[in-house]
């Protein structure tokens, strides 16, 4: 986590920072990105291997990411790799590659 983030304020300015915050407890995560399946809205979340939403990208005009704090903030669901909206993040290198594709606006990892 960098100096721009505020864990006590539940604000992480990049997906890398929120990933680093969660990685010790969840070494394997999934990135759900609605733009990978052509959705007309942007929804990006970091998920546990069981499909529990751990972190959510803030909606514009707010930037950054936040940890999920309440049950009703998101919908947990079983991960279906065949659907195409999730990328498995087995390592920090996988995560960095996926996050780079978000910044570049590409829907693939």
- Residue-by-residue pLDDT tens, the chain, 109 positions: 688 888 788 899 999 999 999 999 999 999 999 888 888 888 899 999 999 999 999 888 888 999 999 999 999 999 998 999 999 999 999 999 999 988 876 554 4
d(CA 92, CA 94): 5
Q: What is the pLDDT of residue 66?
A: 94
Q: How many domains would you assign to the chain?
A: 1
Q: What is the pLDDT of residue 1?
A: 65
Q: What is the pLDDT of residue 109?
A: 44
d(CA 71, CA 23): 21
Residue that is written with structure tokens 């942007």 in the block: 42
Instruction: Tell me how long the chain is.
Output: 109
Residue 109 domain flag = no
pTM here is: 0.87
Residue 42 domain flag = yes
Q: What is the pLDDT of residue 90?
A: 97
Sheet order of strands, 86-89 included: 65-67, 53-57, 44-47, 29-33, 86-89
Residue 2 domain flag = no
Domain encompassing residue 62: 7-104
Q: b/e string for 38-68 if b means 16 or more Cβ within 10 A?
A: eeeeeebbbbbeeeebbbbbeeeeeebbbbb
Residue 1 domain flag = no
């Amino acid at each position: 986590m960098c100096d721009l983030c505020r864990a006590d304020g539940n604000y992480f300015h990049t997906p890398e920072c929120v990933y680093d915050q969660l990685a010790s407890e969840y070494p394997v995560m999934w990135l759900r990105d609605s733009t990978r399946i052509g959705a007309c809205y942007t929804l990006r979340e970091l998920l546990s291997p069981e499909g529990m939403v751990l972190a959510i990208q803030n909606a514009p005009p707010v930037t950054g990411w936040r940890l999920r704090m309440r049950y009703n903030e998101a919908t947990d669901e079983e991960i279906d790799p065949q659907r195409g909206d999730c990328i498995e993040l087995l390592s920090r290198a996988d995560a960095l590659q996926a996050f780079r594709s978000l910044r570049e606006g590409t829907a693939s990892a």
